[in-house]
Amino acid sequence: MKKSRFICLVVSTLMILTVFPATALPIQPGESTTMNTTEPRNQPPGPAYAPMPSLDALPDTPILRHSPQAETVIMDDVVVSIIEQVDEALFLSYEENLTVNGPRPTESASCIAAAEYMYNEFQNMGLAVRYHHWTNGGYTSDNVEATLNGTDETSDDIYIVCGHYDTVSSSPGADDDTSGTTAVLIAAKIMSQYQFNHTIKFVAFSGEEEGLLGSEVYASEAAAQGWDIIGVLNCDMISYAITTNDGNNLDVYQDSQSEWLYDYTIGVNNEYSEYIGTLALHDAGLSGGSDHYYFWQNGFSALFYFEYTMTPYYHSPQDTIEHINLTYAVKNTKLVLATLAELAEAGLLSNPPSTPVINGPDSGVINELYTYTAVSTEPDGEDVYYFFDWGDGTNSGWLGPYNPGISASAQKSWANAGNYQVRAKARDINLVSSGWSTPITVSILTDRPPATPTITGPAEGAPGNAYLYKLLTTDPDGDQVYYFIDWGDGQTNEWIGPYNSGAIATITHEWTEEGSYTIQAKAKDTYGVESDWSTLEVTMPVSVEKHQATQLQYFLQQITQLLQNLGLRFKQQ
């Protein structure tokens, strides 16, 4: 009798779990902590109709690509506004629209219809959309890709969020993987309302169940074309949770190339936990069972997000909406969107400021501060921040805010002599950036030259006479100076001095022959840095003897004229 009662109890429990759908299961916040573990989890299943790629095929040393260090995540109001738009109604609507036609095996009419539906949805969002056609493993189909281009013209960085929209022939695939594809569509719908510094691609793959066929071609072509894919977020089965514990945990698979990205998503999860909900992430290790795999194989960083407890309805006709947990699915989708928005650097839709105009010196010396200014206008009338790149690997950081049209200034000194390209860009309060300004090439010397000296003195005279000339210069560094004078007659005075900066130097010179001469003078400081030449034209029209004879002749002419005048007067009397 006791045994019969026990069996009845078990049967009753199973009936209750079957009758009441998981969508109604509440997951109370605060029931588990946001601790993130590194305990390896069980491997998720692989593709349905092909052997799972061997983990032994993963390279011990990944192909070297750009892998940024995980940075500290600081909550951003724009990111909060993005993830707050994710709700159960939105998730359910996409789930229904994708599962309505039943199973979607690759090449089937229902799979093609799903691709057309997603293509139209992406297009209606205003995104650049395309079918990525592929042929692989005896199959032909299309991935569907939508692109939201980044606003930073200097960035080639690409971030991808993806899932697969095909299913096995026996299942409508509400969890596998309509849930991941829904997350991709939600990301596209919400993020299309915003701008991002870096490019985002929203990709739905086909051929996953046949052996990751669509993603294999896509990742290989991206690598061959030199795409700068920084991170891939793959969502595959993120909606099943039957217990509170299931609903508060999520597995994340990574390889060594992707450790930074795993650390980053942990930081996002912790920083935005108030808006995401209670969710502990678990480092589940390696997996070759989903579309992230061939990104790993091509050296790209990628994460695979997977439900903590795998659905028992996997690849079965019972993988329906009634057996997914919308609360859990929304929580996981929020985590993925927050991670993506932080990586791509989100900002509100806004017109960028104009490219700033910069001004400042184009020469100087080491270890002295110089001031540079930048000014930009903002078509939306928003405040502006400025960023100066000093051309030596350093920058000013973002300065501001400033009213549009008001100049910002920053100071810079260089420790080493050389030529540096100084440029600036602007961004508005929504983090939308302008292009870079036309750079100023700044030549930095160890020391600055004195100013070109001035020469003052007679511009004409007679050979044989000595004339006095004065030379004057200033040195911008206050150094003493020397003068070099070329008198234009083959004679020079070489580097007389030193004289204090701003002090007058006097020197005499005598020309021995008639002619026109060009006096040239330049200065140098105590470090040997020389100024440009200055000049003064001098004419020596007559010799001393001729000048004296001319004066005597003139005197006699005057006497003669005087006598003539007196004689005339005597006659008149």
Span 400-418, pLDDT tens digits: 999 999 999 999 999 999 9
Q: 332 and 184, same structural domain?
A: yes
* Co-location of 152 and 113 in the same domain: yes
Same domain, residue pair 268 and 323: yes
Asked if the structure places residue 550 within a domain, the reply is no
| pLDDT mean over 335-350 | 88
- Looking up residue 233, the CATH number of its domain turns out to be 3.40.630.10
Mean pLDDT of the chain: 88
Residue 26 included in any domain: no
In whole angstroms, what separates CA 353 from the centre of its chain?
16
Looking at residue 64, what is its pLDDT? 53
Mean pLDDT, range 280-308, rounded to an integer: 96
Pairwise pLDDT comparison (86 vs 43), residue with the higher score:
86
Using an 8 Å Cβ cutoff, are 445 and 366 in contact?
A: yes
Q: Examine the pLDDT at 538 and tell me if it is beyond 80.
A: yes
Residue-level pLDDT at 456: 97
- Portion of the chain with pLDDT greater than 70, in percent: 85
Q: How far apart are the first and last CA of the chain?
A: 179
Give the per-residue pLDDT at 309. 96
Quote the DSSP letter at residue 85. Answer: T
Least confident of 66-75, 303-312, 446-455: 66-75
> Is 182 in the same domain as 139?
yes
Determine the average pLDDT of the residues in 133-137: 97
198, 317: one domain = yes
Domain total of the chain: 3
Last residue of a domain, one of 296, 318, 348: 348
Give domain status of residue 569, yes or no: no
Tally of CB atoms within 10 A around 263? 17
Q: How far apart are CA 272 and CA 429, in angstroms?
A: 21
- Flag whether 63 is in a domain: no
Same domain, yes or no: 486 and 517? yes
- Structure confidence at residue 549 (pLDDT): 53
Q: Are residues 176 and 236 in the same domain?
A: yes
Is the pLDDT score of 71 beyond 70? Answer: no
The confidence score (pLDDT) of residue 72 equals 67
- Report residue 173 CA to chain centroid gap: 39
Q: In the structure, what pLDDT confidence band is assigned to residue 553 with cuts at 50, 70 and 90?
A: low
Q: What is the DSSP letter of 447?
A: S
Domain containing 420: what range?
358-445
Q: How confident is the model at residue 63 (pLDDT cuts 50, 70, 90)?
A: low
Q: State residue 37's pLDDT score.
A: 59
Give the position of tokens 């990944």. 62
Residue 433 sits in a domain whose CATH number is 2.60.40.10
pLDDT at 18: 38
Domain boundary among 418, 445, 472: 445
Question: Is the predicted pLDDT of residue 17 greater than 60, yes or no?
Answer: no
- Let me know whether 474 and 538 are in one domain: yes
Q: Is the confidence at residue 568, as pLDDT, over 60?
A: no
**Residues 345-369, mean pLDDT to the nearest whole number:** 88
Question: Do 526 and 497 contact (CB within 8 A), yes or no?
Answer: no
pLDDT of 418 reads: 95
What is the spatial distance between Cα 186 and Cα 85, in angstroms, rounded to a whole number? 9
* Cα–Cα separations (whole angstroms), residue 236 to 137, 265, 556: 22, 16, 120
Look at residues 372, 376, 357 and name the one whose alpha carbon lies nearest to residue 428.
376
Residue type, 43: Q
Cβ-count burial 325-350 (b if 16+ within 10 Å, e if not): bbbbbbbbbbbbbbbbbbbbbbbbeb
Whether 378 is covered by a domain: the verdict is yes
Whole-number pLDDT of residue 8: 41
pLDDT for 569 equals: 52
Exposed/middle/buried for residue 519 (C-beta within 10 Å: 0-12, 13-18, 19+): buried
CA 498/CA 525 separation, integer angstroms? 9
d(CA 567, CA 561): 10
- In a domain? residue 88: yes
pLDDT band at 545 (very low <50, low <70, confident <90, very high): low
55 lies in some domain: no
* Domain annotation covers residue 485: yes
Q: What is the pLDDT of residue 32?
A: 34
Over residues 415-440, the mean pLDDT reads 91
Closest by CA to 376, choosing from 390, 387, 367, is 387
Strand order from edge to edge, sheet including 492-499:
492-499, 481-486, 515-525, 534-540
Question: Do residues 323 and 433 share a domain?
Answer: no
Give how far Cα 79 sits from Cα of 72, 190, 344, 426, Å: 15, 11, 11, 21
pTM over 0.85: no
Q: What is the mean pLDDT of residues 454-461?
A: 96
Verify that 145 and 201 share a domain, yes or no. Answer: yes
What lies within 8 Å, CB to CB, of 404 at 6+ separation is: 353, 376, 377, 378, 381, 382, 383, 384
**Quick one: average pLDDT of 435-463?**
94
Per-residue pLDDT of 151-174, as tens digits, reads: 888 899 999 999 999 999 999 999
| 218 & 293 share domain | yes
Residue 70: the pLDDT is: 57
- Of 319, 348, 377, the residue that ends a domain is 348
pLDDT in tens, 487-537: 999 999 999 999 999 999 999 999 999 999 999 999 999 988 899 999 999
Yes or no: say if 433 and 478 are a contact pair by the CB < 8 Å rule: no
Domain identity same for 517 and 439: no
Question: pLDDT (tens digit, 9 = 90+) per residue, 84-126?
Answer: 999 999 999 999 999 998 999 999 999 999 999 999 999 999 9
Closest by Cα among 204, 281, 273 to 236: 204
